[in-house]
Structure 1
Amino acid sequence: MTNKPAFFNNEETSGVDRVTNLTYEYFVNQYLKPCKPVVIKDATKNWIAHEVWDFTFFIKKYGNCQLQIDGKFYKFHDFIDLVMNANNNNPAPYLREMNIPINFPNLMFYLQPELQYTLPNRLTSKLLPKSFEKNWGMRKGMMELLIGGRGSGFPFLHYDLFKSHGFVTQIRGYKEFILYSPVESEYLYPMASKRDVSSIKSIESPDLDKFPLFTKAKPIKVLVREKESIFIPSGWWYITKILSPSIAVLINFINPDNWSNFIEEYCLSLGNFNIIKLKLRKTYLTAIGLLMSCQEHVKP
């Protein structure tokens, strides 16, 4: 007999389930396959990071390490100081796109066991071409460290790279997510040169003369608290607002359900639109996907 998840409904989540005790099978059938967001309160309950990680931890362990954020360089301890003193009028830089397995491999110890809902994750498959190691470190998995202060957040409306699925887990602090379904894409004005980014620079003060259809877009606002994880399905647009000093982890994953989306997005990102080469790339990655299917177990 399969345990049923417990549901929590309150004003902090509008249109998104907030659950606990969620089995892998229930997640796949009710959220993954339908591409439906969900907040899971206990997805990473065994991660040591929840007990150990705080801002003092990072200062002691990496204080003198140098970070590059938006083209500027900071010592880690100076960056943390900015985060702790940030506010809505004086936001700190937002550390993002920092691949943990590549840049901070020792942190992986604190993020075990693997998040079961992300398995099987084809981004960690040895069948991926070696060239993927140079492309955003994909062969080691796209697991990012996210640190920011009150008033900052992800700076533009987007969906995750190559239409990957994503899980964001809050280790410290509160964060608000503003989500838009893929069916709203026509109202969000994707950039011609970068389809995963909206041309609208600010969803709070959009230029409606330039983007009139944006008024039809229906946002979903979700508060994610410490120890909670939000599942953001393939192709869902979102932006974040940090409400208190925040440490979080983003895990992007590709599985059989969004492999075709990944192939399409990845091939187009390479910038060579020669029809023959494009078809060869797609055929090659489709074949790799078939090989992966032979190795994968549906249940981790």
Structure 2
Amino acid sequence: MKLNLVEIPRVKSISKEDFYKNYVKKQKPLVIEELTADWPAFYKWKLEYIKEIAGDKIVPLYDDRPVSHKDGFNEAHAQMKMSDYINLLQKEPTNYRIFLYNLMKEVPILRDDFKWPDIGLKLIKQLPMLFFGGTNAKVFIHYDIDYSNILHFHFHGEKQCVLFGPDQTPYLYKVPHSLISREDIDYDNPDFEKFPALKQAQGFVCNLKHGEMLYMPEGYWHYMKYITPGFSMSLRAYPMRISSLFKAGYNLLIMRHFDVMMRKWKGQAWINYKNEKAITDTHRKVKI
């Protein structure tokens, strides 16, 4: 038995009026296939090109190990020269990913390769973040701390994206005081006996290929898996809903600092407590 997922709608192109009215305002995901067709990045952004212009940069790497009380907030698990990392991606599957990395700050020439889309969103122009992964590398399901509306562009290869709207949170075993679900849930092959609430979740799925863009509305949960080695870029816009702004403020100013404090104070017992509470809270809310 699989998750209840429907394909995300696709268009080749769309006017900013239609995009805003039918997707941003309604907070519905969308894939736009040809938004990057006139970007230099469409022709240039391959792994070999990144290795050529940024191969000497030392990059932070993340793997799929469970959260530990010893980890800082978004603390990297390893580091490596970009050229060595790309060689690894091209050689064999690896769990190492580059996550939320502002490579353009260190390699400004990359900024000349893309255009800020005039698509009805006021994008935050200082935050073009990059993400890299190898075959079968997975990104834990989570939602973003700042509740941004996200334009997620993929390059070099193929990547699967699974989304759930904020209204599906009651079924996803959200870990309290965090932005993630239980890390032992396999979203490719979920254990519905252990996590029965997942059977009620209704989500979306798409496979992004080179140059395609996925619009993820604010507060959407996303789980991603690299089908092949590749990389992505996210452009962000502030949340539109007042409620999302308040939630973002709480996450940034209170939640993450409270969680770090509790990890230091309680250690692994705090992590274990949160994981257990994710199950009891979910089953209580959905009456299981």
Normalising by structure 2, we get a TM-score of: 0.75
Q: Secondary structure at the match of 1:203?
A: coil
- Give the 3 Å change call, closer, same or farther, for CA 161–47 of structure 1 in structure 2: farther
Task: Say whether the 8 Å CA contact 2:19–2:120 is kept in structure 1.
Answer: no
Is the counterpart of residue 267 in structure 1 residue 273 in structure 2?
A: no
* 4+ long deviations beyond 4 Å: 205-210
Is the counterpart of residue 116 in structure 1 residue 114 in structure 2?
A: no
| Aligned alpha-carbon RMSD (Å) | 2.3
* Structure 2 partner of 1:197: 180
* Structure 2 partner of 1:151: 136
Is the counterpart of residue 58 in structure 1 residue 50 in structure 2?
A: yes
Match of 2:38 among 31, 46, 54: 46
* Structure 2 partner of 1:174: 158
* Structure 1 partner of 2:86: 80
Percent identity (aligned):
22
Task: Say whether the 8 Å CA contact 1:86–1:92 is kept in structure 2.
Answer: no
Is the counterpart of residue 239 in structure 1 residue 223 in structure 2?
A: yes
Is the counterpart of residue 258 in structure 1 residue 237 in structure 2?
A: no
- CA deviation string 1:234-261 (max 9, x = no partner): 1211111111121221112115x23541
Task: Say whether the 8 Å CA contact 1:86–1:151 is kept in structure 2.
Answer: no
Task: Say whether the 8 Å CA contact 1:118–1:253 is kept in structure 2.
Answer: no
- CA deviation string 1:163-209 (max 9, x = no partner): 11111111211111111122211001222111x21124332354556
Moved more, 209-218 or 227-236: 209-218
* Structure 2 partner of 1:229: 213
* Structure 1 partner of 2:21: 29
Shift of 1:271: 1.8
Task: Say whether the 8 Å CA contact 2:166–2:220 is kept in structure 1.
Answer: yes
- CA deviation string 1:101-144 (max 9, x = no partner): 434333111112x12226323x45xxxxxxxxxxxxxxx23x21
Task: Say whether the 8 Å CA contact 1:163–1:258 is kept in structure 2.
Answer: no
Task: Say whether the 8 Å CA contact 2:161–2:222 is kept in structure 1.
Answer: yes
Cα distance in 2 for partners of 1:105, 1:260 equals 35
Task: Say whether the 8 Å CA contact 2:163–2:205 is kept in structure 1.
Answer: yes
Is the counterpart of residue 160 in structure 1 residue 144 in structure 2?
A: yes
Structure 2 gaps, min length 5: 63-76, 257-288
Shift of 1:264: 2.3
Write the letter of the residue equivalent to 2:161: F
Task: Say whether the 8 Å CA contact 2:17–2:120 is kept in structure 1.
Answer: no
Write the letter of the residue equivalent to 1:152: A
Q: How many residues align?
A: 237
Task: Say whether the 8 Å CA contact 2:6–2:203 is kept in structure 1.
Answer: no
Write the letter of the residue equivalent to 1:175: K
Structure 1 gaps, min length 5: 1-12, 125-139, 274-300
* Structure 2 partner of 1:17: 9
- CA deviation string 1:45-80 (max 9, x = no partner): 221111112122122212122112132111111100
Task: Say whether the 8 Å CA contact 1:65–1:75 is kept in structure 2.
Answer: yes
Task: Say whether the 8 Å CA contact 1:82–1:92 is kept in structure 2.
Answer: no
* Structure 2 partner of 1:216: 200
Cα distance in 2 for partners of 1:103, 1:69 equals 16
Cα distance in 1 for partners of 2:108, 2:23 equals 30
Q: Secondary structure at the match of 1:251?
A: strand
Normalising by structure 1, we get a TM-score of: 0.72
